[in-house]
Chain A
Amino acid sequence: MTNSGVLTRIEDCIPALRRYAAALLRNREDADDLVHDCLVRALDKLHTRRDDADVRAWLFAIMHNVFISQLRRSKARPSGEPLAETHESIGTRPEQESSLHWRDLIKALNQLPVEQRTVILLVSVEDLSYAETAQVLGIPIGTVMSRLARGRERLRQMTEEGDIRPALRRVK
């Protein structure tokens, strides 16, 4: 059957799924949990696929849905906002020269509303087209473009003008 082709394509997407999950969540363990749940769900839904087209967007859409439902659950907790904290494990390697710059950028990224963060990551890091991003997030393409524009501009203001929330500012 066509399943083996789909499986190969799914396998090819796992590194990118891990990258996106790692960028979304501050903790790598949580990120891999998210990828795990996404893959399990994808295997459950495998039979609903008619062909091998768009496997990548399909997988990212599944992962987005898992992520959003986790987010809703965590928001039910009084502590809230678990995602607005600093990124612990990405871009923090001291041996990398531009890691300081990355750290500030990631810190700023994590302060954006999640709606803008997902669009920025899917377009900028995962190289999805606007149409694919719209499909993944289940929103109109115009909304993708406006969130991208607002998010990028806010990110630029935060990093260039040092407008990062004081509580999260690093001591250099």
Chain B
Amino acid sequence: MSDPGRPIAEEDLHAWIDGQLDADRQLAVSRYLQDHPDVARRVAAWRNQKDALRAAFTAVLAEPIPSRLQLDRLIRHRLARRSVIWRMAASALLAFGLGGAAGWFLHNGLQRPGTAAITLLAQQAVSNHVVYTADRRRPTELGAQQRDDLARWVSNRLNHQVAPPDLSADGFSYIGGRLAATPDGAAGLFMYDGPQSVRLTVFVLPLKTASEMPIQPVDFAHVDGCAWIDKGIGYTVVGKLPPSELRRIAEQVRQQLSGTT
């Protein structure tokens, strides 16, 4: 729209109707229409058409919003979804009296739901930590520069908003992450490089319980970690670090990731 003197094109006529031209060009088109009544008739028809379409559909705006489209309801429903699935699974297990591993899990789950969940969570976090941090060449699927893409991807798959926390204040730089597979479904794995090339991972896994568990140490053969559960989402920080430092980082992660919703 820089040259107001250039010939009037079909697109200019529509842009004139839609108020998309700058003032000079708008004026040039207006003059052109004065000199070309046949074109002006067509333009008037398009303009009437625009007005009629707007009039035809405008009544929808005045309608009350159906309850299922009300935002607060959608948000509440979203929060409740996970615990509903868990309750349905639990009642199905009870109803059909499934034995074996499921029964054991349910038994343990009912007795100490938080503890059992933390153990399962930590096992998954440590397995993924060991497998992926050992991969010096390609430890992550999306690197640090694709942070937003990873956040979007993981959040979609987890059905929970999550983004790699920023641990630079603790001396750990984010190097990337990936989607991880667990028996409980998709998990997010974020990886960091720290001093003395210590690799740290943050693991996020939606759990089928809505329980809360405070930050607690979990230890396996070669690595240590901290795990906790917030609103049904399990978090783990794993790395070869002193327990006090792991806890400090865990608190930092918790602060950043729990403030997102």
Contacts and interface: CB of A to CB of B under 8 A. Distances in A.
B151 interface: yes
Contact of B60 (A19, A39, A101, A160): A19
B65 A15 contact: yes
Nearest to B158: A44
A124 B56 contact: no
A71 interface: no
B71 interface: yes
Nearest to A35: B69
A120 B163 contact: no
B152 A14 contact: no
A48 interface: yes
A14 B66 CA distance: 10
A14 B68 CA distance: 12
Given A47-B162, A109-B53, A156-B42, A22 B66 contact: no
Chain A facing B: main interface SS: helix
Interface in A47-88: 47-48
B40 to A, nearest CB: 14
B54 interface: yes
Interface string A34-48: 011001100111111
A125 B161 CA distance: 33
A14 B71 contact: yes
Nearest to A10: B71
Contact of A47 (B50, B57, B66, B151): B151
A125 B52 contact: no
Contacts of B50: 124, 152
B18 interface: yes
Nearest to A17: B69
A14 B60 contact: no
B14 A145 contact: yes
Contacts of B151: 47-48
A149 interface: yes
A139 to B, nearest CB: 15
A43 B162 contact: no
Contact of B46 (A23, A32, A130, A152): A152
Nearest to B159: A44
Contacts of B13: 149
Interface of A: 1, 3, 7, 10-11, 14-16, 18-19, 22-23, 32, 35-36, 39-40, 43-48, 90-91, 93, 98, 101-102, 105-106, 109, 120-121, 123-125, 129-130, 145-146, 148-149, 152-153, 155-156, 159-160
